[in-house]
Chains A and B, each alone.
Chain A
């Protein structure tokens, strides 16, 4: 299709018009309860999605066909690139990543339209929410069309493209941005529901049921997106780290923390008709923080490994969108928050109850968010105040966020055991003392196996085990082992409601993650040495021998590969090949670490270059339990999805 690019541009412009229809028709339809207007609105939402799909497909096609008459393709792709990276090149740049953002935004719009079509209960809430969703789509499609058009043509045709920054040429990075965007944009649905609640002046249990599945989906995607990014940084950057407290990482962590608080508080709205206004506020802030996250990546305001060279005017347009998107709902909130729970007769809850526990969860998560925000923005504030340039790095976050997370982990396993309204202390104690005993015994075994641990390491491992015992206790409760006869326990476990299974999987994920963090933070080890071919070095109780350094030719790079043989204490040997790749088109190089992954930890070998005269630099890291970090995140994702699938679409009257 020679005019594919023009078709893509045209489709996007049509989608722009349709999102106007979507926003206006649904708003009017919801206000006047007009079925016809609502139908027009959801149809527009579906059509807008189809048109954006066409637009995105046309841009992808231009990348696949290496159509260098398109400016974006010429500056971000190259004919020699493998096809996967031609596709990921679509979102490896500002314009394309915004189009991906809009694609996901309209995808959520279409999914919401599908639900609006089916439901009879809560139609006006849903219609308002989809109208808000339309307004957000409108803003972002406008941003693309007027400031960042990916479909611009070049007047003179270049011989070949500039290539994608080679460090981005990696499967981890091909999937990380779409997943992260799914999470960021998914939070827009929670936001749309929050604004709908403010317009209607009502955030009740039915509203929470409608909103919670969407927030769970967004939360699961955000978790996966952050974990993929961390995994990518670990194996691609060659520093052996998995989290750097970089402003851009913090920008994704903050909406995640708020979304985590939100899925817990929505549960309280749903079950107990409490926390209405707080929950609405969280939903607004969650999406606000996602927008700020995007803005931080795009603007270059903060020094970060992710900084792209960029055009500041776009940053200002995004800033204006953020101010409107967060400012107006907050104004509405100030006017309406008090009335959100007006139709419900909220029953009081005792201090010792699950409500209080979830309140504590929310409080700690939000305080953690504020702490991360403070550390992230502090350098900007200081520079504005006295001109000093400072950076706030990992030590700050470890010292401030660490204790807060520790406190959360301490309360986490107890909360699910507490009854709503009024928990009985004696009943809880029967479950808690075995948990405490098991934690103490397991921790004692760990202390015997590993000597010389500091107090932080012991506390972190202890908290990880503690959370695991909480999961076991809740599953025991499901099996009825506290009260009933063991026969039938297995049947009861198999009949576990999906949301409860999902919750336990996610909490187990938190425990696994915690142990991974403890392993990497307190027991990692690194050695670096300059070796000649045939020389040895030791790390732990294994010996590493550099056997060769040889050139390798890749599809669009040339590399030097160092081969290192590891001989473990038990005589087993394994081979590590780490490469330094030079990309002639982009005139830059990347390092490929060689990683041997194991259940109990990774061995990570990086070739640091060198010459036969000077010797070759070899860097070896031992990273105990690092895989548990991503394994834990994976469990959280699965838990979130299972909870979402098992979640009622409408409120079941108990």
Chain B
């Protein structure tokens, strides 16, 4: 009869990892507990205890300090103090820790404790216990993320399903020598809406029934004309190894409904939007295509109201923050493109080639619903001073339109409407050179926005030229990287949690966790530094870290840890925002610790530790 200890039992059971124990094991564990009362201002272990023990705070508060009195963590009710059982448990090396440490009571404490030998025996029988105590932060986080990914596989199909599960094979091909009519006959007979055009069995283009309508019938082209007249050359393709989500993203970004699937560069099949949509219902592709069809600004506005719903849906589907960010960014891109098309209808074609640029989170493909806009225009050097009028019109039309669609104006005026960010290639080049050569605080602020820059629409070669020069420069310029690092290290993650507060490095408490500035932004900053120092042109944070992995900037295993931390923080953010959106509130990045489970707090603490370790190693390399 163990119901008598139900209070202690329900307390212990609420604490990970003991929550995973079956009832009889829990009852046995409880019988092994000792209870001590330790006065405020004393140190652990309590008098008279010599054997290593695990301490569990039942009531009161403890501080863990390094020997130089630097605060490492503060423990409150339900927190575990593992300081004194590391030696007997830890098999994995935990080199992040500064030892030895001391533990002080900040209040009068009622403390439960467990002989580490008992804990070790328990761990032999229940791996969840030994894993918890043996793993360091990075390992625990990795375990959590692999569990999250497993769940995503179950809850969502597209992200983790290969294109090969959706594509049609063999693909219907037509010889380049055939006429448009023959293509139409073949499509009708075989029931295909799309054919790959072959020249000596090499695919040179793609023709869809839409092409026949738009490029032949509507244009009055004879149906006897060559199929080559109306086909799309330089067709986009996707490798058979890609996942279905990537296919969806590619189609969304390019407004296409058919995507040839290649295997070792050869077209082997075709995947269509319909194939994927049957799986996903309302989704980003749908969105992009209705945006593409929008006739007026009013239409666009109406569509933009649905954006928060999409974010909620994606969050509910268990999409990772990476996928949510990519979906929302793809849609913002579609809005921007449609607005540019509308502007071009209104003001005529551009006088010289140009490209519309997105900066910041949109460029990194990490945008969430209705964040603010950061953009600019890069114009061909052949522009004349009077050409700017056209671009000014374009900028106002697009930025105002985006604002109408809920993408608020950039508070820092980093927008194409600002003449400073609407410049020819040579001026942009000069900007970047200036930022790199003279890294003033202002320059560093600019560089953190503009080093995440992507072409949304127009001539991508303009930005690419600037970027190539820039990366050559940053790779060589260690002083610039040092300044950038110093600047980025200003944002430090908190230590963890104490009761329902966030515990900052200086020991002060905060009511909410700022997920963006205390977790996500520091990782984005680190990734940017890695990319710039290694000459990596990617702007997406995960992509940057992946490409930098194993370079002088970051080791492979650290890179994996950092991605785990980033994804975990991202998931919390997406979940938190979805909850807010569902309640009809403005989404934000402020998470009250009360909303976090004990386990989530543990994982967050682990994520903070990973960030801090990499920030520290950045610091020492300065």
Asked if A pairs with B, the answer is no
Q: A interface vs B, CB < 8 Å?
A: none
